[in-house]
Copies of this chain bind each other. A is one copy, B any other.
């Protein structure tokens, strides 16, 4: 008999009194004086384990009484309604096969007790076996699937923009070099510089920081595209919001303006939050109980409320007149700090806010200049409890304006030849945004640190496993 996922049994998709087999790992074992053992078996398919009731009449009952956390088992028996609290169904076991013991249970790193989140991080290969990281893994998957579904249903094409880039467009300041050069025998040019012509790609190459510019080339042909892939920052940022390697979602839409993508961002976030509320109530209940009391309610609020919309200029006025003392003073022309963004979302609007039309001098060259000559069609989505979650803009589609901006910023037009080509040949208004996927998962789960929502986090000094 083949085995069945525990989630199917707990959901009630299998008739009571069926013979079933589950395979998984022991979470806990309890023995009654009456000679019955209760095994809680989990298999990762849902938050709850299923209880197997094991009578001492089994041939190998002695073995069963030696089972400890994370021993792997195959349990066969009859599915019955549970009379215990908090569980719908259980298995009256007729057979328990031990597949794998735990070597020295006393020193097993994931022994059944509370571990600190930092301790779990050091055991990243075993931490998905815990309640908390198991739940994070399922919610992360649910969000990723919902993102793909959201875009696919709307006719967007997933494009894999390159990870390795030798493009000079991105500014190499905080990028990782990708190379096969022998560090002990570096090739040199006549002038004594490193000769990257000898390197694998024939020039200096880096890990991408964003797929946006490449994504624009595909939006200017397929109309609606998105990327969902890894991006990299070689920043020495030891914070709970930064990773050296993280996943980004970047839609890019032709024939769209700033309002269109503000709407797209709102629709997308609501769609994926609804998916989590619908598909992972078990994990979300756990997060609300143990990690962040508002984990569920704040998502429910989020999906019900219209996003507020405010111009940067008006936001500055609101902040200046609100009577609140900020650490950083607010004045027109400077970027908003996290404290300002959170005040707007949490106290002033009490809703997610789209802040639009930032001063052009604090924004990137590719953002579309507004007619006021001072601002660009940029937006940030700021949400209560998290701050900035999405940043985007309408792109400058006018070649003359783009060129002027490149010049003002001291950038070399030649380096952007292919990006400029998009404006030379059938240019179209277009816009897009970027969403840091780990920040999204951290927000949804209430986990305080992005290192705990990606399987094997990479940060300054750490690339373990």
- Residues of B with C-beta under 8 A to A180: 176-177, 234
**Copies held by the complex:** 2
Asked if A352 is at the interface (CB within 8 A of a chain B CB), the reply is no
Asked if A245 is at the interface (CB within 8 A of a chain B CB), the reply is yes
Q: How far is the CA of A43 from the CA of B160 in the complex (A)?
A: 19
Q: Mark A184-213, 1 if CB is under 8 A from B, else 0.
A: 101000000010000011110101000000
Q: How far is the CA of A137 from the CA of B215 in the complex (A)?
A: 13
Asked if A286 is at the interface (CB within 8 A of a chain B CB), the reply is no
Asked if A230 is at the interface (CB within 8 A of a chain B CB), the reply is yes
Stretch at the interface among A53-61, A98-106, A307-315: A98-106
Q: How far is the CA of A229 from the CA of B203 in the complex (A)?
A: 25
| Contact (Cβ within 8 A) B176 A428 | no
| Contact (Cβ within 8 A) A426 B100 | yes
Q: How far is the CA of A456 from the CA of B458 in the complex (A)?
A: 26
| Contact (Cβ within 8 A) B244 A200 | yes
- Residues of B with C-beta under 8 A to A429: 99
Interface residues on A, range: 35 or more
| Contact (Cβ within 8 A) B24 A223 | yes
Asked if A10 is at the interface (CB within 8 A of a chain B CB), the reply is no
| Contact (Cβ within 8 A) B202 A462 | yes
| Contact (Cβ within 8 A) A202 B245 | no
Return the chain B residue nearest A21 by Cβ: B255
| Contact (Cβ within 8 A) B99 A222 | no
Asked if A214 is at the interface (CB within 8 A of a chain B CB), the reply is yes
Within 8 A of B (CB), among A394-427: 397, 418-419, 421-427
Within 8 A of B (CB), among A42-67: 43-45
Q: Mark A123-165, 1 if CB is under 8 A from B, else 0.
A: 0111011000010011001001100100010010111111111
Return the chain B residue nearest A398 by Cβ: B100
Q: Mark A78-113, 1 if CB is under 8 A from B, else 0.
A: 000000000000000000000111110000111000
- Residues of B with C-beta under 8 A to A340: none
- Residues of B with C-beta under 8 A to A418: 125, 465
| Contact (Cβ within 8 A) A141 B165 | no
- Residues of B with C-beta under 8 A to A194: 183-184
Q: How far is the CA of A224 from the CA of B8 in the complex (A)?
A: 14
Q: How far is the CA of A125 from the CA of B167 in the complex (A)?
A: 13
Given contacts A72-B428, A141-B157, A418-B465, whether A128 and B217 have CB atoms under 8 Å apart is yes
| Contact (Cβ within 8 A) B461 A428 | no
- Residues of B with C-beta under 8 A to A424: 102-103
Asked if A178 is at the interface (CB within 8 A of a chain B CB), the reply is yes
| Contact (Cβ within 8 A) A103 B201 | no
Return the chain B residue nearest A457 by Cβ: B162
Q: How far is the CA of A419 from the CA of B126 in the complex (A)?
A: 10
- Residues of B with C-beta under 8 A to A458: 162, 164, 201
Return the chain B residue nearest A156 by Cβ: B141
- Residues of B with C-beta under 8 A to A218: 128, 137, 455
Return the chain B residue nearest A110 by Cβ: B425
Given contacts A155-B5, A186-B183, A230-B229, whether A221 and B44 have CB atoms under 8 Å apart is yes
Q: How far is the CA of A444 from the CA of B194 in the complex (A)?
A: 42
| Contact (Cβ within 8 A) A456 B161 | yes
Q: How far is the CA of A340 from the CA of B136 in the complex (A)?
A: 46
Q: How far is the CA of A234 from the CA of B218 in the complex (A)?
A: 27
Closest 6 CB pairs of A and B: A44-B222, A128-B221, A100-B427, A166-B463, A201-B463, A70-B426
A-B contact pairs, 20 of them (CB 8 A): A23-B223, A24-B223, A26-B426, A45-B223, A71-B426, A74-B255, A99-B427, A100-B427, A110-B425, A125-B421, A137-B218, A137-B222, A138-B222, A159-B455, A160-B230, A162-B455, A177-B178, A183-B183, A200-B234, A200-B461
* Seed contacts A126-B221, A164-B244; 8 additional CB < 8 Å A-B pairs: A25-B426, A100-B427, A125-B418, A134-B221, A166-B463, A166-B464, A203-B463, A229-B230
